[in-house]
Amino acid sequence: MEIADALEVLFLRNYNTRLVVSCTMLLGCACGLMGGFLLLRKRSLMGDTLSHATLPGVCIAFMVGVMLGGQGKSLPMLMFGATGTGVLGCATVLFIRNRSRIKDDAAMGIVLSVFFGAGVALLTMATKMPAGAAAGLESFIYGKTASMVLSDFWLLTTVTVCVLVLSLLLFKEFRLLCFDESYAASQGWPVKRLDVLLLGLVTAVTVAGLQSVGLILIIAFLITPAAAARFWTDRLDQMLFLSALIGGVSGWLGASVSALIPNMPAGALIVLVAASGFLFSMLFGVERGVCVRAYRQWNLKRSVGRQHLLRALYEILEADDVSEDQIRIRSVPFRQVRGRRTWTDAQLRRYLASSYAEGLIEQVGKEDVIVLTEVGLEAAAKVTRNHRLWEMYLIEYADVATSRVDRDADAVEHVLGEDMVTLLESKLQSTRPVGASAVPVSPHPIHPGD
């Protein structure tokens, strides 16, 4: 029976399940798309502000409906009220930001707390009205996904289509607004109008999502998918696509699990699924994931250690004043290399093992002597050349003392690009004797046995 229920939910055979899942998927796509712009605009709190600012509108619309002789439960009227106070809250944030020295986060915090406080007070008044006890206004706070009907589906479809179309048509403008608002204004773009339009779209998504996840959890549905997508890419178009995808999948899985587990709120499950996606992205995102960055850092540290080893070998052989042909067959004792840096024996042997795996040195035998291969000699000469090019640059252009230049060059030589190498080498041509080695002479004295 459980397998049959799972298959029924998975293939959306039940009408109510199909409706709820479709609505939450549409809402997830719209929230993810708008959340990406909010995240890049550093207005993650705006969704929270808008959602809490809708509560007074819902209560006012209900009370007005009751006073006009109705029951006050008209969904269009409640949505209209929520939109009105949501837009008012948004306008208040913009007014405070533009007319005072208060920053965005402080303005949003003020508006959020004031509007939500007013909403709670109005909600208490509404529930004390004759028709207020059974009004079900708390569904706008916590969400009531299972009660969604066909009209909600068409509302969410309309909102999602509008958000998608306007985002595509104004993608260039929104991108410029998100990354450099001052530059956009200097180029004559209507920054304030674009900002209002973007916040208007966020307001529409927020109001449309009140019925499914509620005003408390809509902020998580707006920001979590976008934050998760940020770990996977640095491109805006890809980030927005992934954010919408993560939001849609979160809505689908959350609503499906809610349909399988009795008395489990769909809104909370949707947010938990989105949070799981965020956690996975934070750990394994290919661009900014914690594990990926740790691996890159470890790989870079190993590469830097291997480069230090190659330069130490080359400088030891160079200090003995031997020709390149002799360098190819010369061996260096382990202890002599060990004394070049503050390596431990274990660290140095790890670097030796890594260099041997790369084919840069011969296998270290019982005699503990190190011999560079042909490939290793070329790599060692290149590493030493890059280091000394940086030394030359720091001495001539950064006015770094000769006694400190080795340490300072050591910190930046590993990011030396090909363009910079070409530029520095061109500056060497006028001072390099004809037939000289490709490796520049060290600017500080090298003593044998160093």
**pLDDT single digits (tens) 271-294:** 889 999 999 999 999 888 899 999
- Range(s) of the domain holding residue 315: 293-428
330 vs 371: CA distance, rounded Å: 7
Q: Is the pLDDT of residue 421 over 70?
A: no
Q: Within this chain, do residues 35 and 116 fall inside the same structural domain, yes or no? A: yes
Name the H helices within 320-344: 324-329, 334-338
pLDDT, tens digit, for every residue of 59-95? 888 888 877 776 666 767 777 888 888 888 888 888 8
| Interaxial angle between packed helices 236-260 and 2-10, expressed in degrees from 0 to 180 and rounded to the nearest 10 | 150
DSSP string covering 141-192: HH--GGG--HHHHHHHHHHHHHHHHHHHHTHHHHHHHHH-HHHHHHTT--HH
Determine how β-strand 331-333 pairs with β-strand 369-371: antiparallel
**Mean pLDDT value across residues 38-42:** 84
Q: How confident is the model at residue 434 (pLDDT cuts 50, 70, 90)?
A: very low
Q: Within this chain, do residues 23 and 108 fall inside the same structural domain, yes or no? A: yes
Classify residue 51: in a domain, yes or no: yes
Q: Within this chain, do residues 284 and 297 fall inside the same structural domain, yes or no? A: no
3-state secondary structure of 404: helix
Classify residue 448: in a domain, yes or no: no
**CATH code for the domain of 298:** 1.10.10.10
Q: Is the pLDDT of residue 2 over 70?
A: no
Q: How confident is the model at residue 435 (pLDDT cuts 50, 70, 90)?
A: very low
3-state secondary structure of 380: helix
Q: Within this chain, do residues 252 and 119 fall inside the same structural domain, yes or no? A: yes
Classify residue 436: in a domain, yes or no: no
Q: Within this chain, do residues 338 and 376 fall inside the same structural domain, yes or no? A: yes
What percent of the chain has a predicted confidence (pLDDT) above 90? 6
Give the chain's largest Cα–Cα span.
Answer: 104
Classify residue 49: in a domain, yes or no: yes
3-state secondary structure of 288: coil
Question: Token pair of 163, please?
Answer: 């958000």
pLDDT, tens digit, for every residue of 286-324? 888 899 999 988 888 888 888 888 888 888 887 765 555
Classify residue 223: in a domain, yes or no: yes
Classify residue 110: in a domain, yes or no: yes
Residue-level pLDDT at 134: 46
Residue-level pLDDT at 436: 45
Q: How confident is the model at residue 445 (pLDDT cuts 50, 70, 90)?
A: low
Q: Write down which residue in 271, 288, 305 finishes a domain.
A: 288
Amino acid code (one letter) for 9: V
3-state secondary structure of 86: helix
313 vs 327: CA distance, rounded Å: 10
Q: Within this chain, do residues 69 and 173 fall inside the same structural domain, yes or no? A: yes
Nearest C-alpha neighbor of 224 from the set 174, 296, 172, 281 = 281
248 vs 70: CA distance, rounded Å: 37
Q: Within this chain, do residues 235 and 320 fall inside the same structural domain, yes or no? A: no
Other beta carbons less than 10 A from residue 232's beta carbon: 19
Residue-level pLDDT at 415: 54
Q: Within this chain, do residues 218 and 305 fall inside the same structural domain, yes or no? A: no
Q: Within this chain, do residues 318 and 202 fall inside the same structural domain, yes or no? A: no
Question: Token pair of 334, please?
Answer: 């382990």
Which residues is 333 bridged to in the sheet? 369
* Number of separate domains in the chain: 2
C-alpha R_g of the chain: 32
Classify residue 437: in a domain, yes or no: no
pLDDT, tens digit, for every residue of 207-236? 877 766 677 677 778 888 999 999 999 888
Q: Write down which residue in 257, 288, 319 finishes a domain.
A: 288
Q: Within this chain, do residues 105 and 66 fall inside the same structural domain, yes or no? A: yes
Q: Does the global pTM surpass 0.75?
A: no
**Residue 371 near residue 363, CB atoms below 8 Å:** no
